[in-house]
Structure 1
């Protein structure tokens, strides 16, 4: 597979990498140690490791963006392809121009849900059996949008999808059906090139009764409360100055976050007060990190290596020590 269009290359080339504020480590907060790359993937085969969700046994389910694949990777790095999303004729995906498997989440029974960005009628949310089989589209999203990360509130049976181009969080019934524009507004919108890369709402997690969203262009981490009637509350900005933030994960029950900063090859620990500290870097093996997951004492980071001259997409594990 040829070296594919990098996400908004023209736009990002026009932007200088911003210097972002960090703060010294505080006593009692989580620390990240013992980083090690457990699996390297094949960029030429389209295996840009985009998003991740972790099963109870510690195995990771990863989307390979340009291969349109879902893979299972165990903690030793052994990788098995579970499913391949169907090829699309004449994809017209905003920003990247090609069909790409993006976000992934998992139900308690092992069912996987994946966003597929195509710019066609296949654009939307797909269901994947954990044991393999043909993926099934369960919701169609507007072709001019870019479905990115997604999360599941299984108690309410709702999937939430971040649309990076339309600046929208969509809600979709878990069983499938018509999507609803659940949250919109300036805080979720991208910034058009050359001032921005054209990528707004990007990463997304459901956590403590709220939908949390990153906005890449605005360098922010947002929290959107879910009201009792399941509508969206007002958007709250929880952190700023997170240059090139992509997806993220929570370190535990609190609101401390580990966020992937794709263009600076870093993972930042973002505190509830909005300050942050870099805890993993390119020297640890990161190569355009795109997403973070945490299970117990293990941190998982996917690197898609979208922008590297010598790409090294990979899965990195680290140990989380909670203060």
Structure 2
């Protein structure tokens, strides 16, 4: 497995412990912000050094073994990018070596974060703007970007607490746009239409789950997430947990919220500030694993156990 790092009613959180282990720990102070999973044999090797940027944020596979990546120059005191520094890159690994090029620069944004492919439209990628509270649509073939969706549920809280990040992770799945809002402590989904004209909002956003919003000394933060074959959502939850959200396919269904690794206060050694998750791929054994990366430079594998997808 190759890892590329980079109205609902909800039930009270339950405690379930799934087997987890650290399979890599960086010793050089690297912060792993996001992850994609490839089917070949597991390795962790630098494949490309991006010029003129200090950070890579979102990553998504939008064609087989071809990835979109957010590059920028981030200020770690605010987690915002410098003006005119954000761009989307194309990384092609189908030829054995990385072939990279910049697709589009987005000068007006300072907050690009998570990325999502769009099922059925392989050259479209959605990007979460965590500062503007918007979803951009990026055409990877033509090198264009536009704001596709804005919604209050994606926005920042006025004069809210650090970090100033609204919509963070996002995924398109079965006609829904799922997304986390880090500052508000909400996990949302809204119906969307996808067609030749692109992606558009098709109804109101619904809350799936909440955590106590992040504060100076208390609270928690939703980050990026992955969705398995059963439609369940595995969420990286700062400061130290993996949360599983399970629900029905209708907007008013009941969702169950479980902490399945660690705890809300960061009690699992190695799972320090988890940032992103992806389901394994390549064979049945790998498809029953979840891979997590952390701001502490760790890669962790979680065995779904009885929660197999």
- Normalised TM-score (structure 2): 0.76
1:50 corresponds to? 33
Whether contact under 8 Å (1:222, 1:235) holds in the other structure is no
Deviations 1:148-191 (A, max 9, x none): 11011252231000011111110011314221111112110012
Is 2:240 the partner of 1:268?
no
Is 2:106 the partner of 1:115?
no
2:46 corresponds to? 81
- Normalised TM-score (structure 1): 0.73
Whether contact under 8 Å (1:188, 1:201) holds in the other structure is yes
Aligned residues: 260
Whether contact under 8 Å (1:100, 1:117) holds in the other structure is yes
Query: Counterparts of 1:198 and 1:214 in 2: how far apart (Å)?
Result: 13
Which residue, out of 110, 120, 132, partners 1:155?
120
Whether contact under 8 Å (2:109, 2:129) holds in the other structure is no
CA 1:223–1:142 in 2, change beyond 3 Å: closer, same or farther? Answer: farther
- Once the two structures are superposed, the pairs formed by residues 1-323 of structure 1 within 5 Å of their partners are 22-24=12-14, 33-44=18-29, 47-57=30-40, 74=42, 78-88=43-53, 99-118=54-73, 119-130=82-93, 131-133=96-98, 135-156=100-121, 157-229=123-195, 230-242=199-211, 243-254=220-231, 256-262=232-238, 264-272=239-247, 273-281=254-262, 282-295=267-280, 296-305=287-296, 313-321=297-305, 322=307
Query: Counterparts of 2:50 and 2:204 in 1: how far apart (Å)?
Result: 33
Whether contact under 8 Å (1:84, 1:134) holds in the other structure is no
Higher strand share: 2
Query: Counterparts of 2:132 and 2:301 in 1: how far apart (Å)?
Result: 33
Query: Counterparts of 1:301 and 1:52 in 2: how far apart (Å)?
Result: 8
Q: How far off its partner does 1:209 sit?
A: 2.4
1:64 corresponds to? none
Q: How far off its partner does 1:294 sit?
A: 1.3
Query: Counterparts of 1:235 and 1:205 in 2: how far apart (Å)?
Result: 17
CA 1:290–1:235 in 2, change beyond 3 Å: closer, same or farther? Answer: farther
User: CA RMSD of the aligned region, Å?
Assistant: 2.4
Q: How far off its partner does 1:216 sit?
A: 0.4
CA 1:191–1:132 in 2, change beyond 3 Å: closer, same or farther? Answer: farther
Query: Counterparts of 1:35 and 1:147 in 2: how far apart (Å)?
Result: 30
Deviations 1:115-145 (A, max 9, x none): 1133244412111122444631112223442
Secondary structure class of the residue paired with 2:51: coil
Structure 1: runs of 5+ lacking an equivalent: 1-19, 26-30, 60-73, 89-98, 306-312
Secondary structure class of the residue paired with 1:190: coil
Structure 2: runs of 5+ lacking an equivalent: 1-9, 74-81, 212-219, 248-253, 281-286
